[in-house]
Structure 1
Amino acid sequence: MPEAPDIATAWRCLLERTEGRQGDPLVVQAAYEQPRLRALFPFPSHGCLKFMRLAPPPWPFDLGEEELPFIVSSNPGYKVYATRYERLLGETRTPEEAAALLVANLPDGVGPPVGG
């Protein structure tokens, strides 16, 4: 997978569906519309859209250090899990609901302030 050097590039590659940087396009768009998620590095993997606070260092890197919730595309619907599948935070019918649920479960200080 091509490396994205920064958050803005990672989002651009996902939104443009650049080879090697693809995720569920509906989830990607819904997440991008959330300012707090747009401020994070998006990382699609195995039907999930995970997030990191910063762009990762060169490969290989350990996603295990991140403690952020993530979205899993399921058929039908979407699931939002706490870090490392510790617990199911909820199931939704739409990617927009999943993105909003994820934002509601972000730790304080992650992404720009609400309304910012």
Structure 2
Amino acid sequence: MPESPDIAAVWSILLERRPGTRGATQEDLLPVVEAAYAEPRLRALYPFPTHGTLRFLRGTPPWREPNHDDLPFILYGGPPYEVYTSGYGELLGEAGTPAEAAALVVSHLPTGQGPA
């Protein structure tokens, strides 16, 4: 099985919109990726675009821990940009810009998750 890319490499791949990359053809994903990347605490997490969302995972694949996907995420395609808890458990809020959505995710990260 090929080794999974590290977190910094995945951010780079998403920002460059490399062909064949998950979400590379979705124009409305890039501004959200850029805004999330600007947040150091999010930049420390594994970015995972899927089904119209940008999720932030606790580590790189393969995921063996049950809590790898328990952080808030952004539903892109806005404005508004919706931020939910894991599993769409609760709408944490709506944001007018990708930067506001990223900040909302950061404000709901557990203490000690990512750099201060």
State the TM-score, normalized to the length of structure 1. Answer: 0.85
Q: 1:33 aligns with which of 28, 31, 38?
A: 38
* Number of matched pairs: 109
Measure how far apart 1:74 and its partner are: 3.7
Structure 1 ranges of 4+ moved more than 4 A = 61-64
Unmatched segments (≥5 aa) in structure 1? none
**Any stretches of 5+ residues in structure 2 without a counterpart?**
none
CA contact (8 A) 2:7 2:44 kept: yes
Instruction: With the length of structure 2 as denominator, give the TM-score of the two structures.
Output: 0.85
User: Pairwise mapping of residues 1-116 of structure 1 onto structure 2 (< 5 A)?
Assistant: 4-18=4-18, 19-22=20-23, 24-57=29-62, 65=67, 66-113=69-116
CA distance in 2, matches of 1:78, 1:3: 33
Q: Distance in 2 between matches of 1:14 and 1:3?
A: 18
Shift of residue 53, structure 1, vs aligned partner: 1.2
Instruction: Find the residue that maps to 1:91 and give its secondary structure.
Output: strand
CA contact (8 A) 2:31 2:98 kept: yes
For residues 13 and 53 of structure 1, do their structure 2 counterparts lie closer, same or farther at Cα, with a shift above 3 Å needed?
Answer: same
CA contact (8 A) 2:47 2:57 kept: yes
Identity of aligned residues (%): 54
Q: Name the CA distance, whole Å, in 2 between partners of 1:86 and 1:64.
A: 16
